[in-house]
């Protein structure tokens, strides 16, 4: 145990109250400003964001994308700082809010939405004390859903990966719906494709019949209102039934080489990826922890066959390895179950394309929506946010396995979520066994006296729901971001807007550090090279119409990345 004084020093701030204001709140002694927003130009020949039209397909293709999520800052040898951020999706009511009913009315509208997806790379610099994009920097780049990418690993060239446009199954256009992210020790960015299914559709949606693979991944004849299949046959599930098999992966990007071709890493499996936490094990093998963010799906680990050495062939590390799925026992122990051809009855390529089915075959534990995973830099300890699961124990999992209550998923109709952590046996991230417990069970102790009041480290002053983003800082403190219910009513009374909290793994104490604007989630975190700025993502403010953040007045709300610093300029975290 750590003394109260030592704990105080570790946190370095006084907790703040919940808030429903349409702004950012940070503790006394800290300040914030917007570093970049949806639609900010990357190049000087692109017009500034137009609040009336919300831009065009052409402007959007060369401006910061929408709904930023996971991100990372890279520093080149001359000290230039390069931001790479996911632009996960768009909110129809925001991007097309200038049209009747917030819908697309032209092909250009659809393409604008498409171009708002993908990734943005941009150099950031402090000018007059504020971070901003360096326009025309050679590092600035957009990766839209039309960017060519290599398919690598076991699924490359497989029959299920072949389409009319790519009969070889070796090159795919684009990445989209990237949620969390990862970064490798060799200086690349990992973008993690999540709800890729929502972009596929067809004209006779009701007549479309899903096969088992499409069903398990939720690919149907009806998209989620993006309309891509109307302007691009790739997204028509009848015309191109295999295109959906080419998404749902992790894409590796080299931020230092703006001409590099991104690589889809099928060896890391296909599911609704949240993030990718890369750990170099003590023997040099790479372990990558990954959540599948869907009710009743699984938690995964990848272990490379080879060993990392500086300057070595890192492609091999990302192409040759084994995926495992986690099985948790009620007694606090657990196992990683290898998804091998022997264990699953599937060949290596099929394990990588239909990873969920492979994990079902070995009997992995169905989880409450595994979101971000983060590993403690100071010890062999790993945390995963299980965000919530309204169906747990009361409704079957569509297309998947039974979801009994128990183990790390202890509540029926789980509204609040929890954070599970585990310790690999012998401190070995490649070991087949681990021990686990729950770091926190979120809840509302002012409304509930039972398990829904939360664990003992949750109280009226720090309560929250739906933990999602997780990241350790250099001191070994756990930064927790929420994407939950911001109604501030009934089960969620007193919890305010989505927020960021910091937890101490040693004591279990959790303090609220930041509260976001209305109808936003807080997601994505990265530090400047000097660690005096922490960049924090604010996604989908005003998704239901009640925010004008950050520009205020009657302006269009814009997803943004903010820079948070201490007033005294000291290092944060």
Residues within the interface to ligand FEO (CB under 6 A): 88, 179, 194, 274, 293, 371
**Do the beta carbons of residue 351 and residue 449 sit within 8 Å?**
no
Q: Which is nearer to ligand FEO, 392 or 566 (CB)?
A: 392
Q: Does 543 bind Ca ion (CB under 5 A)?
A: no
- Of 136, 81, 145, the C-alpha closest to 113 is 145
Least distance (Å) from ligand FEO to the CB of residue 68? 11
Picked from Ca ion, ligand FEO, none, the partner binding residue 194 (CB below 5 to 8 A depending on kind) is: ligand FEO
Supply the minimum distance, in Å, between the C-beta of residue 88 and ligand FEO. 6
Q: How far is the CB of 521 from Ca ion (least distance, A)?
A: 7
Q: How many CB atoms lie within 10 A of CB 47?
A: 14
* Neighbour order of strands in the sheet with 321-328: 273-280, 285-292, 299-307, 321-328, 333-338, 433-441, 418-424, 382-386, 370-375
Would you give the binding string for Ca ion spanning residues 410-449, x where CB under 5 A is met?
----------------------------------------
The conformation of residue 357, written as its DSSP 8-state character, comes to: H
Cα 390 versus chain centre, distance: 20
CB 91, min distance to ligand FEO, A: 13
Q: Which lies closer to ligand FEO via its Cβ, residue 194 or residue 236? A: 194
Which residue, 513, 504, 508, is CA-closest to 475? 504
- In the list Ca ion, ligand FEO, none, the entry touching 357 (Cβ below 5 to 8 angstroms by class) is none
Shortest distance (Å) from residue 108 CB to Ca ion: 30
Name the binder of 292 from ligand FEO, Ca ion, none, CB < 5-8 A by kind.
Answer: none
Minimal distance, residue 458 CB to ligand FEO, in Å: 22
From the list Ca ion, ligand FEO, none, partner contacted by residue 480 (C-beta under 5 to 8 A by kind): none
Task: Name the residue among 99, 82, 273, 259 with its Cα closest to residue 192.
Answer: 273
Residue 179 or 253 with smaller CB distance to ligand FEO = 179
Q: Give the x/- contact pattern for Ca ion in 126-165, rule: CB under 5 A.
A: ----------------------------------------
Handedness of CA 311, 317, 318, 324 (dihedral sign): negative
Q: Which does 66 bind (CB under 5 to 8 A by kind): ligand FEO, Ca ion, none?
A: none
Rule CB under 5 A: say whether 109 interacts with Ca ion: no
The Cα–Cα gap between 244 and 236 comes to 9
Tell me the C-alpha distance between 202 and 352, whole Å: 26
Q: Does 468 bind Ca ion (CB under 5 A)?
A: yes
Interface with Ca ion in residues 370-409 (CB under 5 A): 387
Cβ neighbours for 21, distance < 8 A, ≥ 6 positions apart: 497, 515, 517, 518
Give ∠ CA 517-503-529 in degrees, rounded to 5. 75
Residue nearest to Ca ion (CB): 483
Q: How far is the CB of 274 from ligand FEO (least distance, A)?
A: 5
- Chain position carrying tokens 């990237």: 178
Min CB(498)–ligand FEO separation in Å: 12
Tokens of residue 469, six digits: 């983003």
Distance CA 63, CA 40 (A): 5
CA angle at 200 for the pair 110 and 211, rounded to the nearest 5°? 170
- CA atoms lying within 13 Å on the CB side of residue 102: 12
Q: Between 132 and 178, name the residue whose CB sits nearer to Ca ion.
A: 178
Site string for Ca ion, 479-518 (x = CB under 5 A): ----x-----------------------------------
Applying CB under 5 A, the residues found at the interface with Ca ion are 179, 387, 468, 483
């Amino acid at each position: 145990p750590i003394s109260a004084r030592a704990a105080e020093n570790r946190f370095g701030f006084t907790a703040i109250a919940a808030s429903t204001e349409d702004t950012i709140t940070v503790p006394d002694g800290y300040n914030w400003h917007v570093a970049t927003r949806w639609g900010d130009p990357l190049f000087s020949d692109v017009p500034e964001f137009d609040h009336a039209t919300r831009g065009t397909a052409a402007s959007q293709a060369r401006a910061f994308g929408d709904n930023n999520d996971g991100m990372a800052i890279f520093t080149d040898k001359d000290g230039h700082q390069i931001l790479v951020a996911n632009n996960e999706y768009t909110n129809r009511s925001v991007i097309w809010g200038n049209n009747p009913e917030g819908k697309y009315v032209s092909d250009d509208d659809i393409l604008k939405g498409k171009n708002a997806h993908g990734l943005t790379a941009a150099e950031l610099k402090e000018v007059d004390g504020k971070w901003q994009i360096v326009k025309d920097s050679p590092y600035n780049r957009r990766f839209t859903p039309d960017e060519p990418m290599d398919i690598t690993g076991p699924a490359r060239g497989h029959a299920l990966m072949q389409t009319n446009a790519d009969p070889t199954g070796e090159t795919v256009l684009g990445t989209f719906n990237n949620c969390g992210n990862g970064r490798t020790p060799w200086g690349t960015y990992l973008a993690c494709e999540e709800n890729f299914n929502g972009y596929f559709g067809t004209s006779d949606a009701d007549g479309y019949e899903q096969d088992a693979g499409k069903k398990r991944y939720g690919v149907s004849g009806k998209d989620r209102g993006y309309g891509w299949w109307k302007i691009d046959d790739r997204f028509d599930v009848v015309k191109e039934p295999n295109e959906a098999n080419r998404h749902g992966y992790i894409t590796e990007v080299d931020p230092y080489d703006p001409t590099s071709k991104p690589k889809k890493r099928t060896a890391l499996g296909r599911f609704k990826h949240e993030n990718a936490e890369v750990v170099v094990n003590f023997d040099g093998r790479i372990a990558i922890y990954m959540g599948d963010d869907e009710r009743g799906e699984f938690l995964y680990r990848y272990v490379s066959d080879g060993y990392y050495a500086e300057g070595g062939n890192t492609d091999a590390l990302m192409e040759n390895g084994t995926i495992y799925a986690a099985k948790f026992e009620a007694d606090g122990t657990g196992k990683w179950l290898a998804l091998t051809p022997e264990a699953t009855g599937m060949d290596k390529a099929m394990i990588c394309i239909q990873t969920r089915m492979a994990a079902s075959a070995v009997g992995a534990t169905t989880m409450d929506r595994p979101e971000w995973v983060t590993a403690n830099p100071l010890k062999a300890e790993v945390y995963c946010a299980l965000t919530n699961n309204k169906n747990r124990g009361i409704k079957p999992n569509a297309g998947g396995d039974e979801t009994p209550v128990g183990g790390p998923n202890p509540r029926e109709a789980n509204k609040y979520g929890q954070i599970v952590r585990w310790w690999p046996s012998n401190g070995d991230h490649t070991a087949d066994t681990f021990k686990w417990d729950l770091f926190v069970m979120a809840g509302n102790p002012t409304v509930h006296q039972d398990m829904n009041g939360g664990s003992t480290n949750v109280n009226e002053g720090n309560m929250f729901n739906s933990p999602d983003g997780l990241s350790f800082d250099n001191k070994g403190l756990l930064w927790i971001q929420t994407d939950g219910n911001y109604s501030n009513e009934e089960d969620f009374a007193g919890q305010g807007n989505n927020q960021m909290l910091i937890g101490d793994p040693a004591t279990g104490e959790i303090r609220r550090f930041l509260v976001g604007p209305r109808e936003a989630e807080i997601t994505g975190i990265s530090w400047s090279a000097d660690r005096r700025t922490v960049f924090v993502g604010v996604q989908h403010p005003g998704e239901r119409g009640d925010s004008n953040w950050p520009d205020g007045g009657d302006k269009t709300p814009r997803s943004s990345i903010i820079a948070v610093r201490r007033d005294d300029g000291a290092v944060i975290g």
